[in-house]
Amino acid sequence: MALSTQQPENDDRYVLLAKIDNARNVSNILKAIHFKESATVFASSMGFKVTVEDSKCVQANAFIQEALFHEFVMKEDQITFKINLTVLLECLTIFGGTPGESTSLKMCYAGYGCPLILVLEEDGVLTDCSIKTLEPDEILDFNFCSTNVINKIIMKSECLKEAFSELDMSSDILQFLMSPDSPHFRLSTFGNAGSTHVSKGR
């Protein structure tokens, strides 16, 4: 469902404007990285990158491509701000995700120090939310030089999830083995109860 055309057209004052017919597409992506309360949002002509960090040692990134939106307007090269991810997700799911119904979403941002405005519409009912934005923290750069990469594995997350579920979570040590020979990828834990090994082939 598209946003009502009866809304006042005063979007020119925003440096960022994005519209999508189903807010669930955005909330589902953000839920995957919601392990801390705050997130840093980077917006560019390519879309959004939302980054969550924990204790400067774990970083998760969610990418929301510009093509996902039916309207995406950027008036600056890049926009960066910090936001409460918990509040953002609560606003995105404010209608509760009724089966068979889609909630349209308009996101607006007027610039540094301004709140992120969300306008949601479902079945003719409009709700707007204003979320305070904060000065972004410095984000660690995990873009390691590709020429120094010795091993690289790309696998489905479900396979990795299954592998972790078979390991001994009481162990203090987790060992990763990557090899061109079998087993190509193996996870091992070592603890008081003994050792556990989970291998995955190509």
pLDDT of 168 higher than 60: yes
* CA 43/CA 76 separation, integer angstroms: 9
Instruction: Specify the pLDDT at position 98.
Output: 65
Residue matched to tokens 């801390």 = 36
How do residues 65-106 score in pLDDT, each as one tens digit?
999 999 999 999 999 999 999 999 999 999 876 666 789 999
Choose between 175 and 192: higher pLDDT. Answer: 175
Q: What is the pLDDT of residue 194?
A: 82
Q: What percent of the chain has pLDDT over 90?
A: 56
Question: Where in the chain are the domains?
Answer: 12-134, 147-200
Which distant-in-sequence residues (6+ apart) come within 8 Å of 165 by Cβ? none
Residue type, 97: G
Describe the chain by its helix, strand, coil percentages, rounded to 5: 15, 40, 45
Stated pTM of the model: 0.75
Return the amino acid letter for 76: E
The residue among 41 and 196 whose pLDDT is bigger is 41
Instruction: Indicate the class that CATH gives domain 12-134.
Output: alpha beta
